[in-house]
Amino acid sequence: MRFVLLSRDPSLYSTRRLVEAARARGHRVRVLDPLRCYMRIGSPASEIHYRGRPLGPVDGVIARVGVSITFYGAAVMRQFETTGVACLNDSDALLRARDKLLVLQRLSHAGLPVPATGMAHLPDDTDDLLDLVGEAPVVIKLLEGSQGLGVVLSETRQAAESVVEAFRNLRAHFLVQHFIAEARGRDLRCLVIGGRVAAAMMRVARPGEFRANLHRGAEGRRVRLSPAERTTAEAAANLLGLDVAGVDLLRTSQGPLVLEVNAVPGLEGIETTTNLDLADAMIRVLEDKVRRRAPLSSSPHGVA
């Protein structure tokens, strides 16, 4: 099969591993910068060009689209999809997962447990918003943040009010979330591939840090999930329509809470921690999607 991997940096671990896994299974792979892809939309045929030339036939796409280029990256993915090409995580699923508020709303509506979370627009709603979420400490998160960036722990109500005011002055969209102290700076990263948990690790924040992100210096450890944790992670990924998802859970005395769902999870930390070939598992899911997908255009592989 002929695959395209959308990535701005071919040297990144996850990009390299996916290319290696695809080639090991006999596929041809091209790594393309999504910002260098451009499109013609309309009859008689839609086209995708790259660096001055039309792309040849493509069977499947893997998109490693960063948060900062979500809009354009999703547009490129959608162009592939409308011409009959299978995407591992389609554009709609990517956009759903990138909206942190939407994710929490959907999970909560489906009965999946999430931390108490609030959002408000006007400054005079701040007091009531903090009352709704609960007593300090609280966590305040930018909706556009990733890898632990734009996440602030406010240990007092006065500090929370100051952070909310600062974010509002920046015209930023943010959430206020109840801080789960019993998690003790630990969370569970569950990698769901093809609807099932393929691997999991516990992330332990470094001393003095509450964010359990590997990019913030956290340590990855092997972990055995409970049946409830496994079921919750799979349900969250499936609810959002994600073929591949990094589902972050918190362990509490009341059972697992879903903290976030990542549509473009990194592979380095979890492959290193678990010693599992997760890139290969992702390629196998894409192969299955290609085989099941009926062509939507006259082009034999969906790209004119």
pLDDT at 56 over 90: no
Q: Count structural domains, the chain.
A: 3
Q: 230 and 197, same structural domain?
A: yes
Task: Tell me, yes or no, whether 110 lies in a domain.
Answer: no
Range of the domain at 225: 182-263
Task: Tell me, yes or no, whether 40 lies in a domain.
Answer: yes
**What's the confidence (pLDDT) of residue 146?**
57
Average pLDDT over residues 57-69: 94
% of the chain residues with pLDDT over 90: 59
Task: Tell me, yes or no, whether 236 lies in a domain.
Answer: yes
pTM of the model: 0.86
**What's the confidence (pLDDT) of residue 149?**
66
Beta-carbon contacts of residue 298 (< 8 Å; ≥ 6 apart)? 45
Task: Tell me, yes or no, whether 18 lies in a domain.
Answer: yes
Q: Which of 132, 131, 154, 129 is nearest to 141 (CA)?
A: 154
pLDDT tens readout for residues 235-276: 999 999 999 999 999 999 889 999 999 999 999 999 999 999
Task: Tell me, yes or no, whether 280 lies in a domain.
Answer: no
Q: The sheet that has 37-40: what strands, in order across it?
A: 37-40, 47-50, 53-54
Task: Tell me, yes or no, whether 49 lies in a domain.
Answer: yes
Q: Can you list the positions of beta strands (E) in the chain?
A: 2-6, 28-32, 37-40, 47-50, 53-54, 60-63, 86-88, 117-118, 138-142, 151-154, 174-178, 186-193, 196-204, 219-222, 244-250, 257-262
Q: 194 and 236, same structural domain?
A: yes
